[in-house]
Structure 1
Amino acid sequence: MSDASLRAVGWAQSFPVSRGVRAGREWARAHMESLGWAHTDPDAVDSVVLAVSELVTNAHHHARTSAQVVLTWDGKGLHLTVHDSGPGSPAPRSADDSSVSGRGLAIVDALADTWSIHPTADGKTITACFKGPDDAPCSRRET
């Protein structure tokens, strides 16, 4: 195993329902900026921040639980993982034009290079992966 394969950086934070999603967006943007993406790929920063916003909103609104958020940069892609304690596995659905909700997973699907849902003993974990600024392939990582 090469030394480069061992390098990764990550952050974790819990966002309780009472704090809303704004704190999650600000937290994600700050960490994306610390990776230098704000200068090299500002669109990717916006995509990750929007995905954080949608997934934390889903955890708060549908599961009615805190959202445990982890961002991991492994040199190939940024992995956004959000866990909540709600039952069931959601699926993207079509929202009609008059609907004010129901687009969260469809937005994540449109923004992320890959994403997946994994049921857990105490809820579910959703992981979305975004390519790095140099267009390196985003490896799929099972959780």
Structure 2
Amino acid sequence: MDLAGQDEGSPPLADRLISAAAAFEGSEEIAEARDLARAFLTRVQAVHGLPVSGRVMGVVQLVVSELVTNARKYAPGPCLLTLEVSEGAVEVTVWDSDPGLPVPRATDPGRVGQHGLEIVTAVCRSFEMHREPVGKRITAAVELADDPGGAAVGRQAL
């Protein structure tokens, strides 16, 4: 191992895939999906040394909760959740068996409920929906950097 904790000849940490995945079949498992996200981000920070603030931890759990809830509510069968660190962000991907893409509703402060997609798109760096041969895949990316200037929490600007 070198001083950076890498095996000689192994790719740099930035090039390694940091991910976690699980399948969920019941609405009672939505809390388990949030727990997976929390454990994943804790590992990202503790094992890989990437800073994860309390804000990022909360936003990622919110995004996971909203996307898995929608998959469980509107699609039959299981849904698959994948979390991956890529290009300075946590990518949250949820696959489900329903090919219908969700349609964001117009902002309506008087509407009770059904604001999840609005919230997710507002807090994420990017949001993509794709039909798959079976079902659909939704990916939302949450920045790991905490301030608008791009400085990550736990690191000092020079």
TM band (smaller chain): 0.7 to 0.9
Letter in 1 for 2:23: S
> What SS class does the counterpart of residue 56 from structure 1 fall into?
helix
What is the match of residue 93 of structure 2?
Answer: 81
- After TM superposition, which residue ranges in structure 1, 4 or more long, deviate above 6 angstroms? none
| C-alpha displacement of 1:103 | 1.4
> What SS class does the counterpart of residue 91 from structure 1 fall into?
coil
> Do the aligned residues in 1 keep the contact of 2:88 with 2:145 (CA within 8 Å)?
no
| C-alpha displacement of 1:50 | 0.3
Paired-residue identity, %: 33
Gaps of 5+ in 1: 137-143
Letter in 1 for 2:34: R
What is the match of residue 34 of structure 2?
Answer: 25
Aligned partner (choices 1, 9, 25) of residue 16 of structure 1: 25
**Matched residues, number:** 135
**Larger of the two Rg values belongs to structure:** 2
> Do the aligned residues in 2 keep the contact of 1:95 with 1:101 (CA within 8 Å)?
no
Task: Label 1:36 to 1:86 Cα distance change in 2 as closer, same or farther (>3 A).
Answer: same
More helix by share: 1
Gaps of 5+ in 2: 1-10, 152-158
Q: Normalization by structure 1: what TM-score?
A: 0.81
Query: Distance in 2 between the 1:20 and 1:75 partners?
Result: 29
